[in-house]
Amino acid sequence: MRLVIFILAVTGLLAACEQKATSSSQSVVKDPGQLAEEKALSESERLNRWFDKKFAEELSHSPIWTTQLGRKDNYDQIDDLSEQAEIELLKWREESVAELKAIFDYEALSADARVSYDVWVYQYENARALAPYRRNRYVFTQMQGEQSMLPNFLINYHRVDDESDMWAYIKRISGISRAINQLLERAKVAAAEGVRPPRFAYDGVIEEASNQLQGEPFVSKSNKDAPLWSDAKAKIEALKKAEKIDGVKAGELNAAAKKTLLENFQPAYKELIGWFADDIENTSATAQGVGALPNGEAFYNLTLASRTTVNLTADEIHNIGLAEVARILEEMEAIKQQVGFEGSLKEFFALTKNDRQFFYPDNDDGRTSYINDTNIFLDAIKAKLPQYFGLLPRADLVVKRVEAFREQDGGAAHYSSGTPDGSRPGVYYMHLPNMNFSSLNMESTAYHEGNPGHHMQISIAQELSGVPEFRTQIFFTAYVEGWGLYAEGLAKEIGAFENPYMDFGRLTLEVWRAIRLVVDTGIHSKGWSEERAIQYFQDNSPLGDSKIRSEVRRYIVWPGQATGYKVGMLKILELREKAETELGDKFDIRGFHDTVLGGGALPLSILERQVDSWIGKMKQS
C-alpha cells in the first residue's frame, strides 16, 4: 500500500511539474493586459473573501442587525449600547482599515473591488470624524427613539419558529432592559455636559415609554395588553397551534415572559420615564438648534458632510434650498392655472389641504380605502418598471399601518426593508391615527417608499451578487433618500400622476424636501427658532400645520438628516444629464438606472465615479 501511495505521489509531482512548465511557457506569450486582469481578479477575490470575514465580525457586534438580516446568530442577545462599546467598535474599524491597507495592493484591484475598498475606508473615516462629538448626539428623542424602536424590533423582527426562539425572545426582553439603562446613562452624561434635546422631545419620550407600560401585566385588571406582552402571548399561542409546544410548555413560556417584563422591563422603563420627568425642568421651552450647544457648530458641519457625503457648507446648502423652493413654486403655479383656479397660490394651497374632496373618511373604512388605493398606484407602476430598469427586485412589498403603540399624528411614512432571502417582505408603513389630512401626497409617497423608490433600491442592493456582503447592507442618507426623491419624479416620467391635483401633491413633497435644506440649516447654523422655521414652511408649502410642526421638530432633533434627500436627488439628476449630454443617442435609461442601483448604496462622490465609468464604456461600445 505504501508503495502504491509513493508511486501516486511521484506521478502527481511529475504531473504538477509538467503543468507548471506548460503554464510558464504559455505565460511568455500572454498579453500584458491579460496578466494584469488576472492579477486584479485574484487580488479582488482575495479582498472579497476578506470583506466577508470582516462583515461577519462586524455583525457579531450587533445581534439586532443580524436578526434584521433574517439570521439567528446570537438570537437571544441585544446590542451593547454603551459608550464604551461604541469606542471599541471604532477601534475595530480602525484596525480593519490598517489591515486592509497593509495586505492588499490597491492598484492590482478590479474597478469594483476598488469601490468596496474605498467605501470601507470611507465608513471608518466618517465614524472617526464624528467620534469626538458622540455626546452631541441626542440619545432619546421622539424620532428614532430606542424607547419604542427596541420593543418594535422584537415584535416585528424576532421570528419565533420553535420553542428555543421563544426562550431567546424572553431573554431579549432582559436585553432591552439593559440597553435602555445603558442609553439612559449616556443621556445623563450628555445632559451634564449641557446637551439636552428640546422639551417637546422629552414629552415625546415620556409618552412613548409610558405607552410600553400601558395594559397587562403592568396594569392589573386592564382591558388591554401592553405591546410586548400581547406579542409574546400571540407568538406562544402560535407555537401551540402549530403543535410545536403543548399547553404545559406554553404556560411555562407565558410565566417566564411575564416575569421578565415585570422584573426587568418595567423597572428600566420606569427609571427612564422618571428621569425624563425630573430633568424636563432643565430644558428650555423654546427649542434651539445644535449649533447653540457645546461644540455645536463643528458637530453640525460634520453631520452635514456625513448626511450628504459631499463637501457643501451650511450656507451653500441653504442657498440651494432657496433656489429650489423658488423653482418648484413656479411649477406649482403652472398647475394652479392648468386646473383653472383663479385665486393666488396661497389660496390654492388652502384649497388642496382643506377641501373635503381630497380627504378619506375618518374611520376604519377610510383607512382601508387609503391603503387599497396606495396598492393600486404601486401595482400600476410596477407593470411599467421593465421599460426603465434591467435590475428589478425579487422581494415582495406590503403596505401597512404603523403599530398603535408607536403611531403618531402627522408622523412620517417610512420603509422597513425585508430580508435578503425574501423570507420577510419590505414594508411601507404609514401613520393613520386619523384621516384628517389631504390625500394629494399619497401617490408620490407610495413611489418614494415603494417602487421605484426605497423598496426597489434597497431590495436590489440586498439581492446583489458578486460584491462583498457589506456592500448590500450599507446605508448613505444622500444616496438612499436621494434615490427615493428622484423616484417620485421618475414615476411621473413613467406615466403616473394623471390627475393634475396628484401631480400638485408631488410638487408639494418636492418643495417640502427643498424647504428642508433651508430650514435645517436655518435652525442649526443660522439660529432660527422653531416658530420661524414653521412660518417659512407655511409660506411655501400647503402641508397641514400639524405635519409641518412634526417635520420641523424632526429636523431639530435629527440635525442634517433631512438635507440628504434634495442633495442626493440633485446629484442623480446631474449625473443623468451629464450622461445624456455626453452619450446622445447612445444613452440608455435602463443602463443608467442599473448603474446607479447596481452597486448598492454609495457616497455620492463614488457614485459619480461609477457613472463616469459607465459613460466611458458606452462611448466605446
Contact partners, residue 436, CB within 8 Å, separation at least 6: 359, 362
Q: What was the pLDDT predicted at 409?
A: 79
Mean pLDDT of the region 501-514: 96
Q: What was the pLDDT predicted at 38?
A: 57
- What is the rounded CA–CA span in Å between residue 560 and residue 557? 10
- What angle in degrees, to the nearest 10, is found between the helix axes of 163-192 and 227-241? 170
Least confident window among 25-39, 269-283, 332-346, 440-454: 25-39
- Reported confidence tier of residue 422, pLDDT bands at 50, 70, 90: confident
Q: Tell me: cis bond preceding 198? Omega within 30 of 0 counts.
A: no
456-494 residue pLDDT tens: 999 999 999 889 999 999 999 999 999 999 999 999 999
Q: What was the pLDDT predicted at 12?
A: 38
- Are β-strands 397-401 and 414-416 bridged in parallel, bridged antiparallel, or unpaired? unpaired
225-250 residue pLDDT tens: 999 999 999 999 999 999 999 999 99
Q: How many CB atoms lie within 10 A of CB 143?
A: 19
Q: How many CB atoms lie within 10 A of CB 605?
A: 13
- What is the rounded CA–CA span in Å between residue 280 and residue 198? 9
Contact partners, residue 256, CB within 8 Å, separation at least 6: 167, 170
pLDDT value at 603 more than 60: yes
Mean pLDDT of the region 589-595: 98
Asked if 165 and 71 touch (Cβ cutoff 8 Å), the reply is no
User: For residues 255 and 31, which has the higher predicted lDDT (pLDDT)?
Assistant: 255
- Reported confidence tier of residue 20, pLDDT bands at 50, 70, 90: very low
User: For residues 621 and 390, which has the higher predicted lDDT (pLDDT)?
Assistant: 390
Q: Which of 337, 604, 349 is nearest to 479 (CA)?
A: 604
Q: How many CB atoms lie within 10 A of CB 64?
A: 23
DSSP reduced 3-state for 216: strand
- Amino acid making up residue 360: Y
Contact partners, residue 509, CB within 8 Å, separation at least 6: 441, 444, 445, 448, 488
Q: What was the pLDDT predicted at 13?
A: 32
Asked if 393 and 43 touch (Cβ cutoff 8 Å), the reply is no
116-171 residue pLDDT tens: 999 999 999 999 999 999 999 999 999 878 999 999 999 999 999 999 999 999 99
Distance of CA 84 to the CA centre of its chain: 25
Q: What was the pLDDT predicted at 36?
A: 61
pTM: 0.87
Asked if 558 and 141 touch (Cβ cutoff 8 Å), the reply is yes
| Grid cell for residue 133 | 462629538
Q: What was the pLDDT predicted at 39?
A: 63
pLDDT value at 14 more than 90: no
268-293 residue pLDDT tens: 999 999 999 999 999 988 999 999 99
Q: What was the pLDDT predicted at 494?
A: 96
Q: How far apart are the first and last CA of the chain?
A: 61
Length of the chain as a residue count: 621
Please give the helix or strand (H or E) that residue 430 lies within, else none. strand 426-430
Scored b (16 or more CB within 10 A) or e, 459-469 reads bbbbbbeebbb
- Reported confidence tier of residue 40, pLDDT bands at 50, 70, 90: low
Asked if 299 and 136 touch (Cβ cutoff 8 Å), the reply is yes
- Reported confidence tier of residue 24, pLDDT bands at 50, 70, 90: very low
Q: How many CB atoms lie within 10 A of CB 102?
A: 7
Query: What is the pLDDT of the chain when averaged over all its residues?
Result: 92
pLDDT value at 29 more than 60: no
CA–CA distance from 477 to each of 317, 395, 546, 573 (Å)?
15, 22, 25, 16
Please name every residue paired with 397 in a beta bridge, in sequence order, or none if there are none: 426
Q: Which residue has the cell 391615527?
A: 433
Question: What does the H/E/C string look like for 355-371?
Answer: CHHHCCCCCHHHHHHHH
Mean pLDDT of the region 548-569: 96
Q: What was the pLDDT predicted at 435?
A: 94
Q: What was the pLDDT predicted at 30?
A: 52
- Amino acid making up residue 62: S
Asked if 559 and 290 touch (Cβ cutoff 8 Å), the reply is yes
Please report, rounded to a whole number, the percentage of residues in the chain having pLDDT higher than 90.
87
DSSP code string of 307-328: HHSS---HHHHHHHHHHHHHHH
Q: What was the pLDDT predicted at 182?
A: 98
| Grid cell for residue 311 | 463637501
pLDDT value at 6 more than 50: no
Please compute Rg for the chain using Cα positions.
27
DSSP reduced 3-state for 295: coil
Give me the sheet containing 397-401, strands edge to edge: 397-401, 426-430, 414-416
- Reported confidence tier of residue 544, pLDDT bands at 50, 70, 90: confident
Q: What was the pLDDT predicted at 37?
A: 59
- What is the rounded CA–CA span in Å between residue 518 and residue 319? 7
